[in-house]
Structure 1
Amino acid sequence: MDFSVKPVLTGEKTVLRPFTEEDVPTMARILADPEVIRLTGSSDAAFDADRLRAWYGSRNDRPDRLDLGIVDRASGELVGEAVLNDWDEPNRSCNFRILIGPGGRDRGLGTEAVRLMLGHAFEGLGLHRVSLHVQDRNPRARRAYEKAGFVAEGVVRQTVWQAGEWLDEVVMSVLAPEWAALNATAR
Structure 2
Amino acid sequence: MTGVDVLVDGDLTVRPMVDDDFATMAGWLSDPRVLSWFGGRDRPMSLLDITAKYTPRLAGTVPVHCLIAEYHGMPVGYLQYYRWRDFTADAAALRLSTLDNPYGMDLFIGRPELWGAGLGSRMLRLVLDHLFGTLGARRVALSAMSHNYRAQRAYQKVGFRRVRLVPDAEVHEGVARDEWLMVADRNSYTHRDAADATP
Q: Give the structure-1-normalised TM-score.
A: 0.84
Amino acid in the other structure paired with 1:57: T
88-97 or 150-159, which deviates more: 88-97
Q: How does 1:125-136 map to 2 (within 5 A)?
A: 125-136=135-146
2:79·2:106 contact (CA, 8 Å) conserved in 1? yes
Residue equivalent to 1:71: 70
Match of residue 93, structure 1, among 102, 105, 120: 102
Match of residue 28, structure 1, among 26, 29, 34: 26
Percent identity, aligned pairs only, is: 29
Compared CA separation, residues 157 and 87, structure 1 to 2 (3 A): closer
85-94 or 164-173, which deviates more: 85-94
Q: Secondary structure at the match of 1:28?
A: helix
Q: How does 1:51-70 map to 2 (within 5 A)?
A: 51-62=49-60, 64-70=63-69
Kindly report the root-mean-square deviation, in angstroms, between the aligned alpha carbons of the 2 structures. 2.3
**CA deviations over 1:61-80 (Å, ceiling 9, x no partner):** 3283321001112xx22112
Find the aligned partners of 1:35 and 1:167 in 2 and give their Cα distance. Answer: 18
Match of residue 17, structure 2, among 12, 19, 25: 19
CA drift at 1:57: 3.4
Find the aligned partners of 1:163 and 1:44 in 2 and give their Cα distance. Answer: 6
Compared CA separation, residues 87 and 13, structure 1 to 2 (3 A): farther
CA drift at 1:58: 3.6
Long gaps (5+) in structure 1: none
Find the aligned partners of 1:94 and 1:10 in 2 and give their Cα distance. Answer: 21
CA drift at 1:37: 1.6
Find the aligned partners of 1:49 and 1:126 in 2 and give their Cα distance. Answer: 35
Find the aligned partners of 1:29 and 1:44 in 2 and give their Cα distance. Answer: 15
**CA deviations over 1:10-48 (Å, ceiling 9, x no partner):** 112421111122211111111112232221244564622
Q: Which has the higher helix share?
A: 1
37-46 or 152-161, which deviates more: 37-46
Amino acid in the other structure paired with 2:162: A
Find the aligned partners of 2:141 and 2:38 in 1 and give their Cα distance. Answer: 16
Q: Secondary structure at the match of 1:137?
A: coil
Residue equivalent to 2:36: 38
Amino acid in the other structure paired with 2:64: R
Match of residue 144, structure 1, among 129, 143, 154: 154
